[in-house]
Amino acid sequence: MISYTRNFEDVMIGRALKAIEHGFYVDVGASHPVADSNTFALYERGWRGLAIEPQTVFNALWQQHRPFDKLLNVAVSNASGEMTLYKPSDYGQMATLSVGLAQDYAQRGMTLSESTVSVETLSHLLQQARGVGDIHLMSIDVEGAEREALLGLDFQRFRPWLMMLESVLPGVPKTNYEHWEHLLLDAGYEFVYFDAVNRFYVAKEHEDLKAHFQRPPCVWDNFVSAELVHEKKQTELLQQQLQSLQQQSHYVLEHLNGAAELLLSIANQYEAKEDWQACEALLWRIYEKLPTFEALHWKIGGLLVGQDRRAEALTFYQKTAELFPNNRYAHHNVGMLLRWEKRWEESEAAFRRSLAIDPNFSECRMNFGALLLALGRYTEGWTLFEARYLVQPHETPRMSHNIAYPRWTGESLEGKSILVLREQGYGDEIMFVRFAQTLKTRGAVHVTVLCQQAIRSLLATAPGVDAVVCVEELSEWPVHDYWCYQQSLPLGLGITLEDLPAPVPYLTAPSFERQKWRARIEQSLPAQTLKVGINWRGSPEHGNDKHRSLPSVQALQALWAVKGVSFISVQTGEAAARIAEVLVDQPMLALGAELADFADGAALVSELDLVISVDTAMAHLAGALGVPCWVMIPVVETDWRWLTDRSDSPWYPQYMRIYRQTTDYVWDDVVMQIEQSLRQWVAARQS
């Protein structure tokens, strides 16, 4: 069989219901009739059924591909009426009736559209469309509205043999079935299988189907994915096209832009196959023949940057800027590469040339702002950095919100309340929560901080914070007078480098957890040893992680020879789980994998004498707690907050020391400096 689903749900369904030749299904939240459809494989077998999908955008496709199914443009719930459907602009199959999910989408940077749709109960729809007769399969994928859908189904009248429901939150591997599963169990259904996305249930009167769910989709099901079938056909077609185009390449090259576009499409095909050598060779061949073909320049420059060939990319983009002096992107890209090369004045000049062409070019304003912040020119830098979310109508939004009350931009806060929205990672939340107290001194009577669950209890200890709300638990925006993104607070407060509030420490670790870790350390380490925490990797999802993280903890091996020190791993994530595989010659107390949340991490760090970390949240945690921290900073795409050529940080004065990398991917000189500093530090502490 051909499977049309990404998780092979239709393989499991087909196996369980293989004996039924002409069955009937109900597809709730059907979306596209073919792509990722749980029921299209059954339709191809001769089954027919009822498709329920409130979005009319799919209607023509259903008429084209599944004309014998009945399609109803209606949403389902526990009562008839009308409701608002929230649809992310780029993800039609994630439309939801859930206000909470819509708010989560907005926080994740998606742009939402709203529409009013008719709502009916499943029982009402089935009575009209089916009446009597077996329902062999009911698939429900309604993006967070599963409970309401089930409440609208009379299980005494309608008894689908097999029920399949999406049971995780959209786009994340977090289960979301606990509040509706009992409705199925109470109705005489038995849970039989979970495929990491969906949960399958069998009616007790058809318990013979249970035997088909003892194994996941496998070779015995004799299936192939529709994507593979499509790719095979496309590959054959592309091979024919490539062969034909290659035979005609000399002729095509003589036809200027038309030829270049055709050859660029071939280069894109090489890129899709990850044949980088063939892709680059063809790109340069086109460039030799037609250097004025503008679209080619972004392709070549992007390829060079992606391969860390930044010097070549800079030279190439400088030629591009000369060839297309009125192209804003050319000057912007030159500015970015010069910024990475630490050529500050030249970078600023390139950014200003780009903005002279288009003063509202938001990407350039944002990156130019980051440059000025790195140079300590906060007054101009904060203003430009606002462009990270202030985009033009034709540009793709980078951030989104749908809060009814006004955004704070520096108005008087006397007697007012304000909600501070999180941005980016945990380190940013730690770094910017310091401004809560500044807001209070400016007259705010109530400051609420929106954060991630793992850092909630820690941020609650920050001075000036009256309440902490978790993104994961947010169902509606709490009412305040104003709201503000956390990284917009310095602009509204008029913060400069000279008056940067740095009341370190400004976070507090819970005493009970501190006692727990103190006892653990005392049991495991010598009494007089100096305790040094180690954190060598950040999140692999970070855009600059390949440059900022160490290849492994073994890169710090030179430190192991320093006497009088015991090393404690505060590393979390996958790297923490694999520490035993790489540490064979150095005893290290590995505690990072045991940390429950950031408050727990703060308690552990508070019991240490020093933390050595790459540029990640652990460095900000130590700094905010007033624990000495030595931070290893990458030479490529250095974050603006570490400024330039300084060995200290005004954000964490007295407690933080910066060690700057000089060669990309090479950390030996940094580790050597830290080893020398560590020996001096130990000697000073022991004297």
Position 400 in a domain: no
Q: What pLDDT does residue 476 have?
A: 86
DSSP annotation of 457 reads H
For residue 362, pLDDT beyond 80:
yes
Confidence of residue 682 (pLDDT cuts 50, 70, 90): very high
In this prediction, residue 575 carries a pLDDT of 83
Tokens, residue 189: 């259904």
Amino acid identity of residue 81, one-letter, is G
Residue 393 belongs to a domain: no
| pLDDT tens, position by position, 126-163 | 999 887 889 999 999 999 899 999 999 999 999 999 99
CB of 40 within 8 A of CB of 10?
Answer: yes
Please indicate, yes or no, whether residues 521 and 424 belong to a single structural domain of this protein. no
- List pLDDT tens digits, range 307-329: 989 999 999 999 999 999 999 99
Q: Which of 594, 592, 558, 557 is nearest to 575 (CA)?
A: 592
Q: 238 and 222 in one domain? A: no
Token pair for 446? 């109530």
Which of these three, 199, 227, 255, is where a domain ends?
227
Average pLDDT over the chain reads 91
Other beta carbons within 10 angstroms of residue 17's beta carbon come to 21
Residue 104 belongs to domain spanning: 2-227
Residues 245 and 345 in one domain: yes
- Residues 123, 255: one domain? no
- pLDDT score of 252: 47
CB 12 within 8 A of CB 200: yes
Q: What is the mean pLDDT of residues 57-68?
A: 95
Strands 656-660 and 629-633: parallel
- Residue 201, domain CATH: 3.40.50.150
Mean pLDDT value of segment 278-305: 87
pLDDT tens digits, one per residue of 209-255 = 999 999 999 999 999 998 888 888 888 888 888 777 666 655 544 56
Residue-level pLDDT at 474: 84
Residue 32 to residue 506: CA distance in whole angstroms:
52
pLDDT at 109: 80
| Cis peptide upstream of residue 505 (ω within 30 degrees of 0) | yes
Statement: residue 259 has pLDDT above 80: no
- Whether pLDDT at 262 is above 90: no
SS (H, E, C) 244-288: HHHHCHHHHHCCHHHHHHHHHHHHHHHHHCCCHHHHHHHHHHHHH
pLDDT surpassing 60 at residue 584: no
101 plus 207 within the same structural domain: yes
My answer on whether 96 and 24 are in the same domain is yes
Classify residue 222 as left (phi > 0), alpha (psi -120 to 50) or beta: left
β-bridge partners, 485: 421
What are the backbone angles phi and psi of residue 525, rounded to the nearest 5°? Answer: -125, 155
Where b means 16+ CB within 10 Å and e means fewer, 490-505 reads bbbbebeeeeeebebb
Residue 681 sits in a domain of what CATH number? 3.40.50.2000
Whether residue 370 is found in the same domain as residue 440? no
Yes or no: say if 447 and 465 are a contact pair by the CB < 8 Å rule: yes
DSSP 466: -
Q: Say if CB 29 and CB 142 are below 8 A apart.
A: yes
Please check whether residue 410 lies inside any domain of the structure.
Answer: no
Would the pLDDT of 69 be above 60? yes
Number of domains observed in the structure of the chain = 4
Share of the chain above pLDDT 70, in %: 95
- Residue 79 in contact with residue 152, Cβ under 8 Å? yes
Task: Quote the pTM value.
Answer: 0.62
Measure the N-to-C terminal CA separation of the chain; round to a whole number of Å.
Answer: 76
Domain for residue 521, yes or no?
Answer: yes
Task: Name the band, by pLDDT with cuts 50, 70 and 90, for residue 585.
Answer: low
Say whether both 186 and 89 belong to one domain: yes
- What confidence tens digit (pLDDT) does each residue in 161-199 have? 999 999 998 878 899 999 999 999 999 999 999 999 999
For 138, the token pair is 């009911």
Rounded distance, CA 458 to CA 624, Å?
Answer: 11
397 pLDDT band, cuts 50/70/90, is: low
- Give residue 253's pLDDT: 45
Token pair for residue 77? Answer: 């719930």
- The tens digit of pLDDT for each residue in 483-514 reads 999 999 999 999 999 999 988 999 999 999 99
Residues 246 and 222 in one domain: no
51 lies in a domain?
yes
Domain final residue, candidates 370, 388, 406: 388
When mean pLDDT is compared across 122-131, 265-274, 354-363, the lowest value belongs to: 265-274
Is the pLDDT at 6 greater than 60? The verdict is: yes
Residue 506 maps to a domain? no
Distance CA 592, CA 568 (A): 8
Task: Look at residues 462, 493, 524 and tell me which one is the last residue of a structural domain.
Answer: 493
> How far is Cα of residue 537 from the mean position of the Cα atoms in its chain?
18
For CA atoms 608, 611, 616, 620, give the dihedral sign. Answer: positive
58 with 179, same domain: the answer is yes
Residues 377 and 342 in one domain: yes
CB atoms within 10 A of CB 27: 26
238 assigned to some structural domain: yes
Q: Are residues 527 and 566 in the same domain?
A: yes
How far apart are alpha carbons 326 and 334 in whole angstroms? 13
pLDDT tens by residue, 520-574: 999 999 988 999 999 999 988 888 889 999 998 989 999 999 999 999 999 998 8
Question: What integer pLDDT is reported at residue 489 of this predicted model?
Answer: 97
Q: Would 404 be classed as within a structural domain?
A: no
Per DSSP, which regions of 280-329 are E strands?
none
